[in-house]
Amino acid sequence: MDLFDKEYKNSYLKLHTNPIPPNSLDPRMWYYSPQGGDPTLIPAIKMQIFKDIDFINSAEEMYTKNRVHEYVMVGPALKPGSSEKSPITIIVEINPTNLSDLLKERILNNMKEINGRLAVGTTHPIHYIPTIRKIDLQRHDYAYHPYTEKWLKKPEHLGEARTDLEALYKEKKRPKQSLKKGLKKLTTI
């Protein structure tokens, strides 16, 4: 590698990487609405996950693609202040009815093929973990559902105080004052 290429690559990497601010999520992975509210997954990453789930479903016959019951995003990429290379883990709940050994093998082969791919525009690898049990969110600190774009378990900095507009703008209950007390105040002034 000649000196120009080396210097160009080094200066490019130094100038054009955006560090993740402390206690926040990666802005290359999450979209923060100007109106406020919870961050949502970037549409390109969301579509990549949808295509991967469809690829997992393609292990079955064309007209009966209903193997994936549910899928939830968990893992260190949802943790505030995580690194740029922290993995995105997606737990995939597989429908166990009529699940033959051949079909299990196809599903696992499809998952092996797509595991470890980087999310679009980031350095986060995506890992798919199959399960036939119901997804237990108690075992995870943070959980996000890519299809509904809802946080199932939010990080602390995404608490209700910052995102729930109704709670934010609730009027404080004021004690009712009687007309006599109001007149007394006016007459004493």
pLDDT at 159: 42
Per-residue burial over 91-100, b if 16 or more Cβ lie within 10 Å, else e, is bbbbeeeeee
**For residue range 149-170, what is the model confidence (pLDDT) as tens digits?**
888 888 876 643 344 445 445 5
Q: Hunting for tokens 């709940």 — which residue is that? A: 93
187 part of a folded domain: no
pLDDT at 162: 41
The tally of domains found in the chain comes to 1
Angle CA 141–43–89, to nearest 5: 30
164 part of a folded domain: no
pLDDT at 161: 35
The percentage of the chain sitting over the pLDDT mark of 90, rounded to a whole number, equals 17
Cβ 71 vs Cβ 53: under 8 Å: yes
DSSP 156: G
**Distance from C-alpha of 117 to C-alpha of 172, rounded to nearest angstrom:** 50
13 part of a folded domain: no
17 part of a folded domain: no
89 part of a folded domain: yes
pTM above 0.85, yes or no: no
Tell me which residue range forms the domain holding 50.
Answer: 41-155
178 part of a folded domain: no
pLDDT at 44: 92
**Distance from C-alpha of 30 to C-alpha of 35, rounded to nearest angstrom:** 15
If you average pLDDT over every residue of the chain, what do you get?
A: 77
**Amino acid of residue 116:** G
12 part of a folded domain: no
Is residue 183 classed exposed, middle or buried when 0-12, 13-18 and 19+ CB atoms within 10 A define those classes? exposed
**For residue range 69-128, what is the model confidence (pLDDT) as tens digits?**
889 999 888 888 778 888 999 999 988 888 888 888 888 898 999 999 999 888 899 999
pLDDT at 50: 92
147 part of a folded domain: yes
